[in-house]
Structure 1
């Protein structure tokens, strides 16, 4: 039976079709008693079990309206017919996957129905049947793998085993426990137990035994509720135990293949792109995560040996750094918890194999400010600084290498007294706790302490810290930079014209910290570095990252578009959901996740996405269907431009190294009428920094909007000029190109005019920069201004031309 409204399904196992009417009456009484409502309509086919006189008379007396399908027209009862097929397909897969004989079909059907009632359905807005039926969300805490190996606790003689080996076969009705099949030398029996330990990585049956097991005959089966209380049907055949006496389980080949590879869940073709994302997120529950969540999962997983090796390596690092010492816990002192965090790193194809990493982290969320920590801020290198280094490396043909600090946070010195629990699986003395002597991952102050330690070391070594980016260091000799170093937490980039200088630095770092030499830089923060020194080219892209983003949102088969945002797109707050039903429907769409994923690509290497992300990110709090369609447009553009990136080339040394372009879109926000500012700066002809953001005030004229955008560009130019100056690039007056003649006139001349007196005086610092010849503002035609793409949607040809102007290409 299946409820048309909630899609909840009930299954009753019967011996003969004649039992259908009695089962229906039982179900009818139960449902009406539980819900307090009456059954109004019953839809069936014309099977004899449904059209008997007693069945018809029962429905007439209770006023139940009957719907019957026309002969040979099963589609008239499509919901029930499709459920029959769904149940059969799942039962077949469950029995084969578990290695169980066909005689367990009843248990498999009941388990399949139990799971269907707790899985989201597209017919009820991706809610679960149980949630629609009862009004309460489904509980997944007790779900286990059908057919998995289970060990049930039993009360037996003092010298007997405390657990028996079983196979998990379902969830009993009306009992808080698990239904298990216990195998014994003298027979087999069902038990229901609540005290069970599962090994879900192994199936409880052996294929070789099952092939010998006859499908016919009567089995000796018992059913008990701790302990056994009644004996059921007798059987001539008994289960033969493994002659070797081993508890190891032989897993079928197809089961091994399924365990080794993640299952690919394909959404139904009838779903549109708007539903695909919702389907993907709900289907994700069926995909088992390959990374364990805790110590127990790691120790019981298929890769337990690899995870154990990773944990041992972590413990050796902790001991080598003398991170803690074991002491009794003083009275009235707080203890911070600890846990293991596991990560499988994919590595670089063809360069580095996948690695298993285990980190012991402190539960820093339990720390109290003022007691366990004070200052926690720690800088990281700006992405702009990385791109500046890439441009310099390619221009001057420098060596570029990369290193990684092993267990970086363990090198920081703690200033506070912190006690922590001993790590799970490595407890030496239950009466003692860890008194931390060094910082540890998870502590709020760990990043800061590590940075201070590394900063002190570099300054003592002879490096100079940049005044514009605290994570950029330079070693100078005779006022000439001979070595660059960029730090992003534990990732280090080094560049120099002399490979011997880099080698000496590596030796110093290895003497102070435990380092990993990664050789020539290939990838940093998800950005792939592809270098062809013979052509003097360096290509920076995020192909792998963005491909995963597109795959995650199931847009790999979408029709590609040529611009990040449609020229027709006019997004407004009026398009946000107005009713509660619309809001609930949009809650299932991962709008914020999509914007954030694409935004990281924009920040690193994709200036072409700046305007689109600036627009769609305004509606993250309450997105509507139109906004979701606009975000999908961005994903479609990404799908067709995955190979896009920044190409750094060698240019004429006489050309200005640094140039900027600014633009504004007057009153571009149709809701607030605020304008949009955009700028992009190139170093040796390729973009190194860009921005597209909404102005903080409402501009009263196009001149004011352009002038505000010019101010933002001038501030960026001052920072960039100082930055590259410290890095050894002599830059005179920075040229900033603007396509507004009135804004250029206002910046170049100390004039007072009635129509410009409202402009904030703080914006006029641009005039001071022009007077001191720090910058120069020049007119540029709108067609040649690449900043135009940061303020508005452009036609395909104009957008492509803007990308060419900043050296954004597709390899």
Structure 2
């Protein structure tokens, strides 16, 4: 209540005759738009890669009572909170001036206010991610700010520039200075400035989840799945009881756990805890892509897998079933290349706006026939069944925006995104993208 009054969240007044209070918001009346962006996880990792490359300072801030900061654009009336009715104004209602926790538009209104503040202080919003802000200093250095709801990461070459930004933010919002960044969204940030290394780990969160499911004594394994293991819906009959039990726990936590430990309730095992290692290698941004033909045993759809690295460290990856069935391995690889190149184009624009000279023109694939297919129209008769949206890769290749190059299957780290591997191959692929135990 102190925060609500301090932020002047409402005005007390008589309820107008044509208005009413209520617990349910009506679309078009009590709210219009509710979408609010949050920074992408891949961009957080990209920034950490930049921090490690240039040995930047990295600090963290938290906004107190975030959703009470947004300015409301609709007239919303509510009853006075129970137990806090103003004496002699018991029949008055609250006309909300600021957003409240629970209002559908609160996240959006908070972001709009923060965005307005940042742009008024000479920060430029990144057009490839609306939660990334960039400011150029007089000495041509840059300050980067990433926003995830109420969590902020600030990176700059000089601590003095970070202090200036903190002071500006504190004048406008009630902030909590967390000092050097240690954790963001459950990911622990560890730095070794002497060796120019930065590590990203989820060890603490994984251990917390294991305790919640009483699996803290589970036996670790070296790979998520054995190389011979294949999953299908027929295995679900053996997992119904286990699934029903786990649903009684926190659902979102359970889903995250199952996703991380690889795709299926029956196959959940505790793999050794690994971490991403960012450093100062010579490589720029490189993409790797692979596909597993008819890997889905139920509908025979292929699996697309790709991973992008910055200076040899993974910043973005994906493993997902394709939306259609492919008629050959070449077609499956071709569609996977298209998905990877879309990500490459996004990164290319992103780094350009972040003033980072990181060329991302090459995506490596281990299928020579699929690479030929991206360059030549001669296969038209055999590819006319492929959705038009996948053929845009040919225009991208023709204009020189992206180059798809051949790589040996044995050297392609994306192989671990599409199939179960032996321990030796799995560790080798992981090491190629800077993921170590």
With the shorter chain as reference, the TM-score category is over 0.9
* Pair 587,666 (structure 1): closer, same or farther in 2 beyond 3 Å: closer
CA contact (8 A) 1:480 1:728 kept: no
Aligned twin of 2:51: 393
SS in 1 for 2:36: coil
Give runs of aligned pairs for residues 704-719 of structure 1, distance below 5 A. 704-719=331-346
Aligned twin of 1:802: 429
C-alpha distance in structure 1 between counterparts of 2:414 and 2:258, whole Å: 15
Aligned twin of 1:326: 12
* Pair 602,450 (structure 1): closer, same or farther in 2 beyond 3 Å: farther
TM-score computed with the length of structure 1 as normaliser = 0.51
Correspondent of 1:588 among 244, 247, 262:
244
* Pair 704,593 (structure 1): closer, same or farther in 2 beyond 3 Å: farther
RMSD of aligned alpha carbons: 2.3
C-alpha distance in structure 1 between counterparts of 2:78 and 2:36, whole Å: 23
C-alpha distance in structure 2 between counterparts of 1:594 and 1:784, whole Å: 40
* Pair 648,319 (structure 1): closer, same or farther in 2 beyond 3 Å: same
Deviations 1:419-448 (A, max 9, x none): 223334433333333221111111111111
* Pair 512,768 (structure 1): closer, same or farther in 2 beyond 3 Å: same
1:773, distance to aligned residue in structure 2 (A): 2.1
Aligned twin of 2:276: 646
CA contact (8 A) 2:10 2:95 kept: yes
C-alpha distance in structure 2 between counterparts of 1:573 and 1:385, whole Å: 34
Aligned twin of 1:370: 28
Moved more, 481-490 or 800-809: 481-490
Aligned twin of 1:677: 304
C-alpha distance in structure 1 between counterparts of 2:187 and 2:257, whole Å: 9
* Pair 736,479 (structure 1): closer, same or farther in 2 beyond 3 Å: farther
1:335, distance to aligned residue in structure 2 (A): 2.3
Aligned twin of 1:629: 266
Aligned twin of 1:561: 221
Deviations 1:45-82 (A, max 9, x none): xxxxxxxxxxxxxxxxxxxxxxxxxxxxxxxxxxxxxx
1:590, distance to aligned residue in structure 2 (A): 1.7
CA contact (8 A) 1:566 1:793 kept: yes
CA contact (8 A) 1:474 1:481 kept: no
Moved more, 366-375 or 419-428: 419-428
Question: Which residues of structure 2 form unaligned runs of 5+?
Answer: none
1:751 is aligned to 2:342: no
1:470 is aligned to 2:130: yes
Number of residue pairs the alignment of both structures matches: 435
1:588, distance to aligned residue in structure 2 (A): 2.8
CA contact (8 A) 1:400 1:494 kept: yes
Deviations 1:488-546 (A, max 9, x none): 11111111112111111111111111111111111111111111111101111111111
SS in 2 for 1:414: coil
Give runs of aligned pairs for residues 408-557 of structure 1, distance below 5 A. 408-429=66-87, 430-477=90-137, 480=140, 482-557=142-217
* Pair 594,564 (structure 1): closer, same or farther in 2 beyond 3 Å: farther
CA contact (8 A) 2:373 2:379 kept: no
Aligned twin of 2:317: 690
Correspondent of 1:703 among 317, 327, 330:
330
1:769 is aligned to 2:396: yes
Flag the structure with more relative contact order, 1 or 2, with Cα contacts below 8 A and sequence separation at least 6.
2
* Pair 769,595 (structure 1): closer, same or farther in 2 beyond 3 Å: farther
CA contact (8 A) 1:405 1:514 kept: yes
Give runs of aligned pairs for residues 339-378 of structure 1, distance below 5 A. 366-378=24-36
1:671, distance to aligned residue in structure 2 (A): 1.2
Q: Which has the larger radius of gyration?
A: 1
C-alpha distance in structure 1 between counterparts of 2:358 and 2:68, whole Å: 41
Deviations 1:601-658 (A, max 9, x none): 799xx7xx5xx23xx2xxxxxxxxxxx3223x3xx22xxx23x211101112xx3x11
SS in 2 for 1:590: helix
CA contact (8 A) 1:529 1:539 kept: yes
1:595, distance to aligned residue in structure 2 (A): 8.5
Aligned twin of 2:420: 793
Correspondent of 2:2 among 275, 300, 316:
316
CA contact (8 A) 2:247 2:254 kept: no
SS in 2 for 1:693: strand
CA contact (8 A) 1:481 1:727 kept: no
SS in 1 for 2:378: coil
1:703, distance to aligned residue in structure 2 (A): 0.3
C-alpha distance in structure 2 between counterparts of 1:367 and 1:717, whole Å: 41
Question: Which residues of structure 1 form unaligned runs of 5+?
Answer: 1-314, 338-365, 617-627
SS in 1 for 2:404: strand
C-alpha distance in structure 1 between counterparts of 2:278 and 2:327, whole Å: 39
C-alpha distance in structure 2 between counterparts of 1:324 and 1:729, whole Å: 45
Deviations 1:271-305 (A, max 9, x none): xxxxxxxxxxxxxxxxxxxxxxxxxxxxxxxxxxx
Deviations 1:748-770 (A, max 9, x none): 33433543343344323222222
C-alpha distance in structure 1 between counterparts of 2:361 and 2:139, whole Å: 23
Aligned twin of 2:364: 737
* Pair 757,593 (structure 1): closer, same or farther in 2 beyond 3 Å: farther
Aligned twin of 1:597: 253
1:808, distance to aligned residue in structure 2 (A): 0.6
1:331, distance to aligned residue in structure 2 (A): 4.0
Aligned twin of 1:299: none
* Pair 659,758 (structure 1): closer, same or farther in 2 beyond 3 Å: same
CA contact (8 A) 2:286 2:360 kept: no
C-alpha distance in structure 1 between counterparts of 2:5 and 2:102, whole Å: 18
